[in-house]
Amino acid sequence: MLQENSIKLSLSYAVASKAKDYFQLMKFNLTFMVVFSCVVGYLLVPGVEFNLVKVLLLFAGGLLVSGSANTINQVWEKNTDKLMARTANRPLPAGRLSETEASVVAVVTGLAGIGIMAYSFNWLSAILSLISLVLYGFVYTPWKKWNSLAVLVGAIPGALPPLIGWAAGANQLSEGGWSLFAIQFLWQFPHFWAIAWIAHQDYTKAGFKLLPAAGGPNKMTALQSATYALLLIPAGLAPYLLKISGSISAIICILAGIFYLYRAVTLYRKCDVPAARKLMFGSYIYLVIVQLALLADKV
pLDDT in tens, 69-91: 999 999 998 888 888 888 888 88
Q: What is the pLDDT of residues 144-174, one digit of tens each?
A: 888 888 999 999 999 999 999 999 999 999 9
Task: For residue 245, report the phi and psi dihedrals to the nearest 5 degrees.
Answer: -135, 170
Instruction: Classify domain 18-172 at the CATH topology level.
Output: Tetracycline Repressor; domain 2 (1.10.357)
Confidence of residue 1 (pLDDT cuts 50, 70, 90): low
Residues in the chain: 299
What's the burial of 1, exposed, middle or buried (CB within 10 Å: 0-12/13-18/19+)?
Answer: exposed
State the pLDDT at residue 72.
93
Rounded distance, CA 262 to CA 161, Å? 26
Among 27-31, 81-85, 133-137, the least confident range? 27-31
Burial class (CB in 10 A: 0-12, 13-18, 19+), 278: middle
User: What are the extents of the domains in the chain?
Assistant: 18-172, 174-299
Percent of the chain with pLDDT over 70: 95
Q: In this predicted structure, what is the pLDDT of residue 7?
A: 58
Over the Cα atoms of the chain, what is R_g? 20
- Using the predicted structure, report yes or no on whether residue 3 has a pLDDT greater than 70: no
Query: Can you give the pLDDT at residue 80?
Result: 87
Q: What is the pLDDT of residue 147?
A: 84
Decide: pTM greater than 0.75: yes
Distance, C-alpha 106 to centroid of its chain: 17
Name the pLDDT band for 20 (thresholds 50, 70, 90).
confident
Q: What is the mean pLDDT of the chain?
A: 91
Q: Which residues are paired to 245 by β-bridges? A: 298
